[in-house]
Amino acid sequence: MAIYCMSDIHGDYERYKRMLSEIDLMDSDLLFIIGDVVDRGTGSMEILKDMMMRANVIPMIGNHEYMALNCLEFLTKEITEESIKEMDPGLVEGILQWQAVGGQATMDSFRALSREDKEDILEYLSEFTLVEEVEAGGKSFVLAHSGLLNFDENRDLGSYEPYEVLFERPDYGRRYFKDKYIVSGHVPTRNIEENPAPDRIYICSGNIDIDCGCGYGGTLGAIRLDDLREYYV
Ligand SMILES: [Mn+2]
């Protein structure tokens, strides 16, 4: 049994499937997907449907799912003059902000689903977790989409709020836990100044950034926590 992590797939269903073959995911393995499955690419719904069929895939929320969840429920309703009048300003702003970061493709593909599929997708998205902790290869790992804001080594991992683990960027040079790695995505590794290898997994001071820029023409990366082996497609 092995434990893998992947993140920031951003609607690239084809690369997601290729990565599953590349790591040769077995039923006895676990795969944590640390947020940002949706947006930018056109395959968000296909990826979510595939993930929800797999009991060994643990879905975690990213800022893109967070934005999607706030808007998609409205899109399950029939859009009429009435329903538009009832939209609160916060929702309108949420939809505009989501569109500005690549939400349109997700909205379009969600709208094209059957009512039943829409409900399944919404229910699935609401199950995504914020922070996970796992052991592999004798080491401990804390997983969170954008690291841990307002970090305190003694803080209960269950106490972090969405705004603290979905939107900021970690300080990759800072050693947060004495004896645990933090695995995150969110920041394409090409945007880390100190990183000599853009679009490859970046490891520094116990921080592991696995966002290899799949949503920006880069690569999709995955890491096996047991031995820190890296995979790319
Ligand atoms: Mn993100």
Q: Tell me, in angstroms, the distance from the centre of ligand 1 to residue 142's CA.
A: 17
CA 146 – CA 168 distance, rounded (Å): 6
The predicted-structure confidence for 156-181, as pLDDT tens digits, reads as follows 999 999 999 999 999 999 999 999 99
Helix (H) or strand (E) holding 180, with range, is strand 180-184
Residues with CB under 5 A from ligand 1 (ion): 36, 62-63, 186
Q: Where are the domains of the chain?
A: 3-64+126-232
pLDDT of residue 106: 96
Which whole-number Å values give the CA distances from 5 to 88, 145, 166, 208, in the listed order? 37, 11, 17, 10
Query: Which residue type occupies 106?
Result: T
CA 168 – CA 155 distance, rounded (Å): 18
CA 86 – CA 131 distance, rounded (Å): 34
The predicted-structure confidence for 59-97, as pLDDT tens digits, reads as follows 999 999 999 998 998 888 777 888 888 788 888 899 999
Q: Tell me, in angstroms, the distance from the centre of ligand 1 to residue 55's CA.
A: 24
CA dihedral of residues 162, 164, 169, 174 (deg, nearest 10): -140
The predicted-structure confidence for 30-66, as pLDDT tens digits, reads as follows 999 999 999 999 999 999 999 999 999 999 999 999 9
DSSP string, 26-48: -TTSEEEEES--SSSSS-HHHHH
Q: Tell me, in angstroms, the distance from the centre of ligand 1 to residue 36's CA.
A: 5
Q: Tell me, in angstroms, the distance from the centre of ligand 1 to residue 128's CA.
A: 14
CATH topology of domain 3-64+126-232: Purple Acid Phosphatase; chain A, domain 2 (3.60.21)
Angle between helices 89-100 and 104-111 (to 10 degrees): 110
pLDDT of residue 84: 80
Q: Identify the CA nearest to 106 among candidates 159, 153, 67.
A: 67
Q: Identify the CA nearest to 64 among candidates 214, 222, 218, 233.
A: 214
Q: Tell me, in angstroms, the distance from the centre of ligand 1 to residue 63's CA.
A: 5
Average pLDDT, rounded, for the chain: 96
Note the pTM of the prediction, 2 decimals: 0.95
